[in-house]
C-alpha cells in the first residue's frame, strides 16, 4: 500500500515541477499540455491510484451488518434489482417507485441506510466528505459501486415524467445566476476551450467528448485533496467557488443537476475512480 | 471588446441550440421549492451577498441573451446603481491593483471574513509577465494605452468594474461594486492597473 501511495506522490511532484518549469520559462505554452497528458496517463494506473483503497473499503461496507437492524446493504435496490451493482451507476440518477422521486447514487444509498439498516445517518452526513484521519462511508461506497460500471456507458432515457422534470430543473439550475458574483455553472462551462487561470474548463452544455470525459471520470481521487471525491462534492465545491451559500448535501437540486449532466454525457464511458489534480 | 462579446453571444446561441429542442418547461413553484431546499436559510452575515435579483432572473431566463427590450431595461436599471468616488478620482495605486488582481481568495462559505480579492487573472490576460491567466474574458493587455489613457475612458472602466451589466447587460463579469464584493479603493487600484502608463498592463 505504502509503495502505491509513494509512487502517486512522486508522479505528482514530477508533474508539478514540469508544469512549474514551463511557467518559469517562455511565454509559449511549449508542451505543457502534452506533459500534463503524460502525467495523467502515468497516474491513471489503478495500481498507483489511491482511489482503489476507497473501492476496497466500500466493498467491505456494502456487506457489513450495521444499524439498529444489524443487516448489510446487500438487499438495497439501486435500480437494477436488490443487490445488483453491475451497471447500476451508469443508469443513475433515476426514478424510484418506492420513494416516488428521482435519486442519485448517494441519495439512494442514504435511503437504504435509513430504511434497510436503520443506521445513524447523522454520522454518515457528518463524514460525507473525507478528511485527514476521517474516512467517508459515502465516498467509499460510491467508489465501490461506480467502479462496477467501468467500461459501460451512461444511459438515462428519461422515460419517467419525474426524470424529465428533474432534467429540466437541472438545466435551469445550470443557467441560474445568483448571489455575490452573479455566477452560474454556465459562466465557466458553456463554451469550448476556455480556461480559468491555466485550468481547462469542459463545455458541459454541448453533448460530446468534453462532458463525457468529465462525467465518466467521477468519482475521482483528487491529488490536491488526498481524497476520493464524488459528484456531490464536485458540485458542492463549484457552488463554494461561485460564492453561494453552502448547498445542502443530498438535496434534490444537486440530483437534478447531476441528471442534467449525465444526460449531456450520454454514451460516455465510465472509468472510475479516476485520478485528477 | 464589443466584437468579442458579439462573438461570445453567437457561440453561446449556437451551443445552446443543442439542448433547446428537448427543453421541457419547469413549473416556477417547483423550481422555487427545489432551490429553497438547496439553500433553506441565509447564513448569518450573508444577508447582503445572497440574491436572485430581477437582473439575475432575466439573464438566467434568457440564457444571457436578453431580447432588445429586456436588454435596455437591464442596462437602465444597472446604470442607476453605479456610484463613483466622491472626489471624482477613479485612479488608485496600480501596484496595489496588481496584488488585488492576483488575489482569488475571500467570499466563499469556507473562508473566514477577509478582504476579497478581485481575481482578474482567473479570466483575463493583463500583463505579459503573468502567464497563469484565464480566457473566459478578453485579454486586457495594453488596455489603457489602446484607449489613449483618456480620463473619460478610465471613468467608464471604473463603471464597468463597479457594474459590468451597466455597460453590457448579462455580461459574465461579476458586478463588483454593486454587490460590495470589492471596496471603492480596490476598484480604484484595479482601474489604475489598467490605466497607469507605468503599469505592466500597458507595457
CA-to-CA dists, residue A253 to A33, A203, B157, angstroms: 35, 20, 37
Residue extents of the structural domains in chain B: 2-79, 94-202
Q: Could you state, in chain order, the average pLDDT of each consecutive group of 10 residues for chain A (277 residues)?
A: 40 42 47 74 79 97 98 98 98 98 98 98 97 96 98 97 97 97 98 95 96 98 96 98 97 98 98 93
ipTM of the complex: 0.88
* A16 interfacial to chain B (CB closer than 8 Å): no
How far is it, in rounded angstroms, from Cα A266 to Cα A92?
11
Number of other CB atoms surrounding residue B43 within 10 Å: 12
The C-alpha cell that represents A172 in the structure block: 435551469
| Catalytic residue check, A238 | yes
**Residue B47 CA to its chain's centroid (Å):** 20
Q: Which residue of A has its CA nearest to B56?
A: A177
Residue A73 CA to residue A67 CA, distance in Å, equals 10
Residues of A with CB below 8 A from B31's CB?
A: 169, 172
Residues recorded for chain A: 277
Task: Decide if pLDDT at B2 tops 60.
Answer: no
Q: How far is B196 from chain A (nearest CA, A)?
A: 24
**Threshold 0.90, pTM exceeds:** no
For residue B176, which of A238, A178, A180, A175 has the smallest C-alpha distance? Answer: A180
Evaluate whether A260 touches A171 at the Cβ level (below 8 Å). yes
Pair A221, A128: CB distance under 8 Å: no
Domain B94-202 - what CATH class?
mainly alpha
Mean pLDDT calculated for residue range B18-34: 74
Catalytic residue among A76, A112, A185, A238: A238
3-state secondary structure string, B3-67?
Answer: HHHHHHHHHHHHHHHHHHCCCCCCCHHHHHHHHHHHCCCCCCCCCCCCCCCHHHHHHHHCCCCCC
pLDDT digits 0-9 by tens, B130-147: 999 999 999 999 999 999
Amino acid at each position: 500500500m505504502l509503495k502505491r501511495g509513494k509512487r502517486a506522490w512522486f508522479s505528482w511532484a514530477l508533474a508539478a515541477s514540469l508544469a512549474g518549469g514551463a511557467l518559469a520559462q517562455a511565454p509559449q505554452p511549449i508542451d505543457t499540455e502534452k506533459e500534463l497528458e503524460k502525467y495523467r496517463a502515468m497516474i491513471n494506473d489503478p495500481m498507483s491510484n489511491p482511489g482503489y483503497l476507497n473501492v476496497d473499503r466500500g466493498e467491505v461496507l456494502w456487506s457489513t451488518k450495521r444499524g439498529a437492524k444489524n443487516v448489510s446493504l446487500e438487499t438495497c435496490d439501486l435500480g437494477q434489482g436488490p443487490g445488483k451493482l453491475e451497471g447500476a451507476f451508469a443508469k443513475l440518477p433515476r426514478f424510484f417507485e418506492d420513494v416516488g422521486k428521482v435519486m442519485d447514487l448517494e441519495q439512494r444509498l442514504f435511503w437504504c441506510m435509513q430504511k434497510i439498516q436503520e443506521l445513524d445517518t447523522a454520522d454518515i452526513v457528518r463524514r460525507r466528505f473525507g478528511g485527514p484521519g476521517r474516512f467517508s462511508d459515502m465516498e467509499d461506497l460510491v467508489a465501490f459501486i461506480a467502479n462496477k460500471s467501468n467500461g459501460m456507458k451512461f444511459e438515462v432515457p428519461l422515460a419517467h415524467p419525474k426524470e424529465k422534470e428533474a432534467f429540466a430543473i437541472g438545466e435551469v439550475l445550470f443557467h441560474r445566476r445568483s448571489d455575490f458574483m452573479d455566477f452560474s455553472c454556465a459562466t465557466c462551462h458553456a463554451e469550448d476551450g476556455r480556461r480559468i487561470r491555466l485550468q481547462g474548463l469542459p463545455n458541459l452544455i454541448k453533448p460530446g467528448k468534453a462532458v463525457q470525459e468529465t462525467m465518466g471520470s467521477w468519482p475521482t481521487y483528487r491529488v490536491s485533496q488526498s481524497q476520493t471525491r464524488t459528484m456531490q462534492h464536485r458540485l458542492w465545491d463549484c457552488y463554494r467557488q461561485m460564492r453561494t451559500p453552502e448547498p445542502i448535501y443530498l438535496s434534490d437540486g444537486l440530483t437534478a443537476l447531476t441528471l442534467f449532466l449525465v444526460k449531456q454525457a450520454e454514451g460516455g464511458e465510465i472509468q472510475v475512480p479516476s485520478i485528477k489534480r | 471588446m464589443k466584437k468579442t462579446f458579439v462573438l461570445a453571444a453567437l457561440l453561446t446561441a449556437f451551443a445552446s441550440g443543442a439542448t433547446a429542442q428537448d427543453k421541457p418547461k419547469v413549473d416556477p413553484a417547483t423550481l422555487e421549492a427545489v432551490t429553497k431546499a438547496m439553500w433553506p436559510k441565509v447564513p448569518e452575515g450573508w444577508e447582503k451577498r445572497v440574491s436572485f435579483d430581477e437582473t439575475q432572473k432575466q439573464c438566467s431566463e434568457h440564457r444571457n441573451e436578453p431580447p432588445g427590450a429586456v436588454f435596455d431595461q437591464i442596462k437602465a436599471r444597472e446604470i442607476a446603481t453605479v456610484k463613483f468616488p466622491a472626489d471624482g478620482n477613479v485612479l488608485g495605486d496600480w501596484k496595489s491593483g496588481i496584488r488585488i488582481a492576483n488575489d482569488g481568495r475571500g467570499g466563499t462559505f469556507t473562508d473566514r471574513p477577509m478582504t476579497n480579492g478581485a481575481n482578474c487573472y482567473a479570466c483575463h490576460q493583463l500583463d505579459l509577465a503573468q502567464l497563469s491567466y484565464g480566457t473566459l474574458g478578453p485579454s486586457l493587455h495594453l488596455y489603457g494605452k489602446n484607449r489613449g489613457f483618456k480620463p473619460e475612458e478610465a471613468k467608464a472602466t471604473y463603471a464597468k468594474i463597479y457594474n459590468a451589466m451597466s455597460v453590457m447587460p448579462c455580461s459574465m463579469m461579476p458586478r463588483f461594486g454593486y454587490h460590495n464584493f470589492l471596496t471603492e479603493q480596490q476598484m480604484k487600484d484595479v482601474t489604475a492597473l489598467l490605466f497607469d502608463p507605468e503599469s505592466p498592463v500597458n507595457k
